[in-house]
Chains A and B, each alone.
Chain A
Amino acid sequence: MKRRAVITGMGVVSSLGRDLNAFWQGLIEGRSGIAPLDRFDPEGLRNINAGQVREFSFEPAAFGLADAPDIATQFLLMAAREALIRAAIAPSEERDPGFGASFATNFGGANSWERYVAGLLVGEVPAAAFEEFAFGRAAEHTCAAFGIGGPCALLSVACASGGAALGVACDMIRLGEAQVALAVGYDALAPTPLSGLSVLRTMTDEMIRPFSADRSGTLFGEGAGALVIEDLEHARERGARPLAEVLGWAENNNAYHVTAPDQGGAGMTRVLRDAIADANIDPRTVDYVNAHGTGTQPHDPAEVQAVKNVLGERAREIPMSSIKAATGHMMGAAGAAEAIATVMAVNEGIVPPTVNYREPDPECDLDHVPNVAREATVGRAISISAGIGGNNSCVVLGALD
């Protein structure tokens, strides 16, 4: 019989708060964690506001570390720990070969890179900062902290990363390479990426308003989303309650342009179609779409078109919301945090709203759940992500039958 990959624990660090409860409460109350950035001086950015993680503290010793790792890795470790505690999985003293991990990020140790370059510019070489920047470092720290000794991946497909991390972990389970796999998307706000996203004008100078006619760009956030993915049989044997099943996933590339979406959302259409085919479900049984919904002028209509292309008439009957105006666009963490919001929708029967929504747009004419959360029965749902470089990813989630 085919192995089934289920989610048995989740953890989130976001601008809405330091754990899953704060994240979900913030979402369903329609709050936003976006506020003036104060970890570094935002002077020169189009917008001083961001979804910064606040009141965050980190104890290196709790993870077997002598020194604090890069702040993005701190978010990763804290979210992963919460997910494992919720799944009732104790860290293994020895490296467990049945315990896999799939990590995903846009910018890795971006703040350590800033420190490294600041040193180079004054003739110093802070090599330890370079090592903390190196993408593989986060995997080293996390695998050591939790005794992960099975298959491992550290992926980067820009803002489509989080969804891909979940998909790769799902495959580790379905192929029998691991019985438990941690999937984490993580990223931290840092001056260089924010400068780039500002000068590209992906960042609005006003406010993030996904699917609203007056949208003018996105605002960025940070944090981590962690999910414990587990073989259903393994979960049942140890008495763990599955929160949802990862039914399928897909990732691809538009092969069109590094920053512009392709015509009519063709790449996103294919990634949705392929994910639904991988899940082997009828698209008419999808009850909710958790959108990438960045709030940029060209992106949102392309995504709406892709959903219409694949779900057909069903697209008009179901909610399709974006949580990005609540959390800020969490970059490499976005897909993972949004998958978590989707699992919560499945479990709680509540769909999180698209906040900051003001004006209907004829090109974004689906039910975008403006500003107020809504009760809904969600048996199956999809979560979509897309990123710079033309990468797309999509995850199909469902309630356990």
Chain B
Amino acid sequence: MADELRIAITGVGAVSGLGTGIEPIIEALRAGHEPPGDLLEADYAPEEFRESPKTYMDPACEHALAACWLAVRSAGLGWEGAAHSGFDSERMGASIGTAFGPLDSMLNMTGRVQQKGMRFGSPMIFTHTFINAPAALIAIEYDLQGPNMTHSLGDASGAAAIAYALTMMRAGRADLMLVGGCEALSDPLLAAVDETTDGLEARPTNGLLRTTHDLLGEGAAILVLETAAHAAARGAEPLAELTGAAMLAPCRGDAGERAVIAAGSDCARVIDAASACGHTFGASVALSAACCAALVAEAEEPLAAVSRDGSGAVVMERWRA
């Protein structure tokens, strides 16, 4: 592939029920045992992972911003405090997937509206109820004035976000993008999952709430994508090359195959972070992709992250200079 079309992964950041960073997830994957229990909540101090103080933040957005904080440091971007002289803000963007978005804030807002009346909605909370809030807050936090997109296709949301960024960057629309997914284990989500898990196998659709893992988790993962030229110009050492992605209509189960073909590979080994940090809905493919990026240097074959329903997938390889 021509060099200008090669997209490098130069950093990863993650928060999950196993803590902050990708390392605890990799350790758990290597150990090969699922954590006990049925809920794995992300327990960390979100205010320590922000470039600027915030008055209010939904947990889904907290996870996304914390993963970004870790990812920009992992990539050696030197953006501490979000100052990034020498970078072209107009050529940088974000693409984020989430199945449900800021549900805690939505419940807060709708609770006020239904119990007190439409006059009593909170303007501040309302602006945090939009499903594009995580991506918009990332853009503001890191002054990313280029492409900015939010994707919501259930468990495949993270794959959709990464596939979109790959298309935009190969089209020359951005040099650097923060991409991935986030999800929070909010009360309204947990209530719905509890109510529907029984008997969902019989559903004809791909079942937005169906769980094949007993363990539910939350968190976010962000990958720093850069064009090969941009990474080289700043002397960054890529972790991996993002070689292919596919996001297909729901119920199509062959995105993994499509992504491998798009990547020009023969096969790929699937890495699933869910066996370490639980099923994380819209964050799941991004967390698996972050694990792929961390593991691919020692892998012989390409690695893939695939959504549970098989409709979205990304493939990456070891970086070859």
Give A residues with C-beta under 8 Å from B: 42-45, 95, 97, 100-101, 106, 108, 113-114, 116-118, 120-121, 125, 127, 130-131, 134-137, 139-140, 143-144, 148-158, 164, 168, 171, 175, 191-192, 194-200, 250-259, 267, 270, 274, 387-391
Contacts and interface: CB of A to CB of B under 8 A. Distances in A.
Contacts of B74: none
B52 interface: no
A139 B93 contact: no
A236 to B, nearest CB: 25
B63 to A, nearest CB: 18
Contacts of A257: 140
A134 B160 contact: no
A44 B250 contact: no
B127 A117 contact: no
9 contacts: A43-B117, A108-B152, A148-B249, A149-B252, A151-B249, A194-B118, A253-B145, A258-B127, A389-B136
Contact of A390 (B131, B140, B167): B140
A178 to B, nearest CB: 10
Contacts, number: 234
A44 B144 contact: no
Given A44-B118, A198-B121, A389-B133, A274 B250 contact: no
Interface centre among A135, A139, A153, A164 (most CB of B within 10 A): A135
Contact of B250 (A42, A136, A157, A191): A136
Contacts of A118: 114
A44 B117 contact: yes
B188 interface: yes
A108 B131 contact: yes
Given A134-B100, A192-B106, A153 B251 contact: no
A157 B148 contact: yes
A77 to B, nearest CB: 15
A95 B248 CA distance: 11
Contacts of A387: 132
A118 B205 CA distance: 26
Nearest to B137: A258
A336 B115 CA distance: 34
Nearest to A146: B249
B109 interface: yes
B64 to A, nearest CB: 13
Q: Which 8 A-B pairs have the closest CB atoms?
A: A196-B126, A389-B136, A195-B121, A44-B118, A253-B148, A44-B119, A135-B152, A130-B192
A113 B110 contact: yes
B109 A196 contact: yes
Contact of A134 (B111, B122, B142, B154): B154
B129 A131 contact: no
Contact of B196 (A44, A127, A274): A127
Given A120-B188, A258-B136, A152 B311 contact: yes
Interface centre among A44, A106, A152, A191 (most CB of B within 10 A): A152
A95 B249 contact: yes
A139 B153 contact: yes
A389 B167 CA distance: 22
B121 A136 contact: no
Contacts of A97: 252
Interface centre among A156, A164, A267 (most CB of B within 10 A): A156
Interface centre among A42, A117, A137, A158 (most CB of B within 10 A): A117
A-side interface mostly: mixed
A168 B121 CA distance: 34
A251 B95 CA distance: 12
A120 B109 contact: no
B107 interface: yes
B121 A192 contact: yes
Contacts of A106: 130
A253 B100 contact: no
A197 B119 CA distance: 11
Contacts of B94: 253
Given A44-B117, A191-B118, A391-B132, 15 more contacts: A117-B114, A127-B196, A136-B157, A140-B205, A152-B247, A152-B248, A154-B153, A155-B149, A157-B150, A252-B146, A253-B94, A254-B145, A389-B130, A389-B136, A389-B139
Contact of A251 (B107, B120, B123, B147): B147
B272 to A, nearest CB: 20
Contacts of B171: 171
B191 interface: yes
B186 to A, nearest CB: 11
Interface string B49-66: 000000000000000000
Interface centre among B148, B160, B173 (most CB of A within 10 A): B148
Contacts of B192: 116, 125, 127, 130-131
Given A108-B131, A150-B248, A195-B118, A127 B145 contact: no
B89 interface: yes
A274 B91 CA distance: 11
A239 to B, nearest CB: 26
A270 B88 CA distance: 13
Given A113-B110, A255-B145, A139 B250 contact: yes
Given A43-B118, A134-B208, A171-B167, A255 B89 contact: yes
Contacts of B164: 153, 168
